[in-house]
């Protein structure tokens, strides 16, 4: 077991590394005692686990500690690529990050050469609560930032979701699981008022002074229920497929304590595989350990009709490209050809959880003079371009 010396916020500290190898993405579902579980799996005493997580959060190494949700089951969502003029790009980025609670990951991306879709520099994840229109919200956002065009790309299938930068360091290109990833379909789940109250308290990120062993009792009070009702409701929500994982999210590419970075390169891989092979391809891509996210999304003609996308991170660009080459080779070995592929590199980026509560959307509209009823989804909610 690594020995703790002084409280450190550095990623490279062996105690912190042992904690982060578990806490980034290994605690699936709702954990009644998440810090105790991290201690058990890492071999670090629970008191030290809490001390170090607090130190890393206060030091900026960890950017947030929270219970994640499988929000594809709770809200309509999509990856959205925005074509914005260079003069407006930074202001559009700032608006999406600071002013729109329904935009999550906000990234400025580039390609190594001019190619299909390379004029779409601003990429965001976008979610709106059940009953509201992604397309209408994107149109409203586009008007606010002066976007020329946008492309909404909802996930038709999910194959991989989990970050884990620390445990992914040092992977050899081509390292993968023995079996293909399992496809996960997304279907919206309807919640009761009680479930929304518990979920809203459950998902709010933790401030440093809230990180204690008895983590959930104050959240039960926040939801207006007793502790037993809170945990029972959370466990029922897990059984319904809406709970993700308990996680300590690292700052991705910004320098943290000791001028260390969790990662330096963020790559969005694209492949255009034959129609009917999307699930096969996604499962083969998703089995590679370097991949943090993998989806079936339709890029349309703007992106050369790509349909499988995946995200990988790394400290060195040639290594990330070597991982990509190994995945390409594996797809061909598996009998899955692709007519086109590309890499969109992440530059400036900010990440925040998207708001998904219906009441929050109503309040958002009221504060901006928007008729919330006019933002409701229509029966033809499939238009992806504007």
Which residues are within 8 A (CB) of 9 and not within 5 positions of it... i.e. 6 or more apart?
16, 55, 56, 58, 59, 60, 61, 256, 257, 258
Percent of the chain at pLDDT > 70 equals 91
Global pTM reads 0.81
Which tokens go with 318? Answer: 């040639």
- Tell me the CATH class for 72-182+264-350: alpha beta
The pLDDT score that the predictor gives to residue 198 is 96
Is 327's pLDDT higher than 80? yes
Q: How far apart are CA 360 and CA 101, in angstroms?
A: 9
Residue-level pLDDT at 262:
57
Residues of the chain with CATH 1.10.10.2890: 14-67+192-250
Give the list of residues 6+ apart from residue 97 with CB closer than 8 angstroms, or none. 103, 106, 350, 352
pLDDT in tens, 256-314: 555 565 568 899 999 999 999 999 999 999 999 999 999 999 999 999 999 999 999 99
- How many angstroms from the chain centroid is the CA of residue 377? 24
Q: What is the 3-state secondary structure (H, E, C) of 37-95?
A: HHHHHHCCCHHHHHHHHHHHHHHCCEEEEEEEECHHHCEEEEEEEEECCHHHHHHHHHH
Q: What would the two tokens of residue 120 be?
A: 């779409």
**pLDDT band at residue 228 under the 50/70/90 scheme:** very high
CA nearest 244: which of 73, 36, 57?
73
pLDDT at position 263: 62
On whether the CB atoms of residues 50 and 35 are closer than 8 A, the answer is yes
d(CA 88, CA 145): 7
Q: DSSP labels for 354-374?
A: PP--HHHHHHHHHHTT--GGG
- Dist. CA 159–CA 278, nearest whole Å: 11
pLDDT tens digits, one per residue of 348-374: 999 888 898 888 999 999 999 999 999
Each residue's pLDDT tens digit, 1-23: 444 334 688 888 999 999 999 99
Give the model confidence (pLDDT) of 161-208 as tens digits. 655 444 556 689 999 999 999 998 777 888 999 999 999 999 999 999
Domain 14-67+192-250 has CATH 1.10.10.2890: yes
d(CA 103, CA 79): 10
pLDDT in tens, 97-152: 999 999 999 999 999 999 989 999 999 999 999 999 999 999 999 999 999 999 99
Q: Where in the chain is the domain with CATH 3.30.70.3460?
A: 72-182+264-350
Lowest-confidence region among 234-238, 375-379, 380-384: 380-384
- Report whether pLDDT(384) > 80: no
In the three-class reduction of DSSP (H, G, I as helix; E, B as strand; rest coil), residue 302 is classed as helix
Rounded Cα distance, 214 and 211, in Å: 8
CA-closest candidate to residue 277, choices 341, 324, 336 = 336
Report d(CA 85, CA 166) in Å as an integer.
Answer: 36
């Amino acid at each position: 077991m690594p020995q703790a010396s002084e409280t450190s916020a550095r990623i490279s500290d062996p105690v912190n590394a042992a904690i982060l190898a578990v806490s980034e993405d290994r605690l699936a579902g709702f954990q009644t005692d998440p810090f105790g579980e991290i201690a058990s799996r890492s071999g670090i005493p629970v008191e030290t686990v809490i001390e170090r997580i607090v130190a890393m959060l206060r030091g900026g190494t960890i950017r947030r500690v929270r219970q994640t949700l499988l929000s594809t089951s709770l809200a309509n969502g999509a990856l959205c690529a925005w074509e914005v003029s260079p003069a407006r790009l930074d202001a559009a980025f700032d608006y999406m990050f600071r002013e729109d609670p329904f935009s999550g990951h906000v990234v400025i991306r580039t390609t190594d050469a001019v190619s299909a879709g390379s004029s779409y520099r601003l990429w965001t994840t976008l979610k709106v609560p059940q009953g509201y229109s992604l397309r209408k919200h994107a149109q409203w956002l586009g008007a606010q930032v002066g976007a020329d065009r946008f492309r909404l790309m909802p996930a038709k299938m999910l194959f991989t979701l989990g970050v884990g930068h620390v445990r992914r360091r040092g992977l050899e290109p081509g390292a993968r699981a023995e079996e293909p990833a399992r496809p996960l379909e997304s279907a919206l789940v309807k919640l009761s008022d009680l479930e929304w109250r518990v979920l809203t308290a459950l998902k709010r990120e933790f401030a440093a002074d809230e990180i204690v062993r008895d983590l959930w009792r104050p959240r039960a009070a926040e939801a207006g229920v007793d502790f037993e009702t809170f945990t029972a409701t959370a466990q029922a929500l897990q059984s319904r497929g809406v709970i993700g994982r308990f996680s300590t999210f690292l700052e991705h590419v910004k320098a943290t304590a000791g001028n260390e970075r969790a990662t330096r390169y963020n790559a969005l891989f694209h492949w255009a595989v034959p129609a009917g092979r999307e699930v096969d391809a996604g499962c083969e891509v998703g089995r590679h350990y370097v991949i943090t996210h993998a989806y079936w999304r339709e890029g349309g003609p703007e992106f050369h009709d790509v349909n499988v996308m995946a995200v990988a991170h790394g400290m060195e660009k040639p290594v990330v490209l070597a991982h990509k080459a190994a995945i390409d080779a594996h797809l061909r070995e598996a009998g899955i050809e692709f007519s086109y592929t590309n890499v969109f590199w992440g530059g400036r980026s900010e990440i925040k959880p998207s708001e998904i509560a219906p009441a929050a959307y109503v309040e958002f509209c009221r504060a901006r003079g928007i008729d919330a009823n006019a933002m409701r989804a229509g029966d033809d909610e499939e238009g992806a371009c504007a």
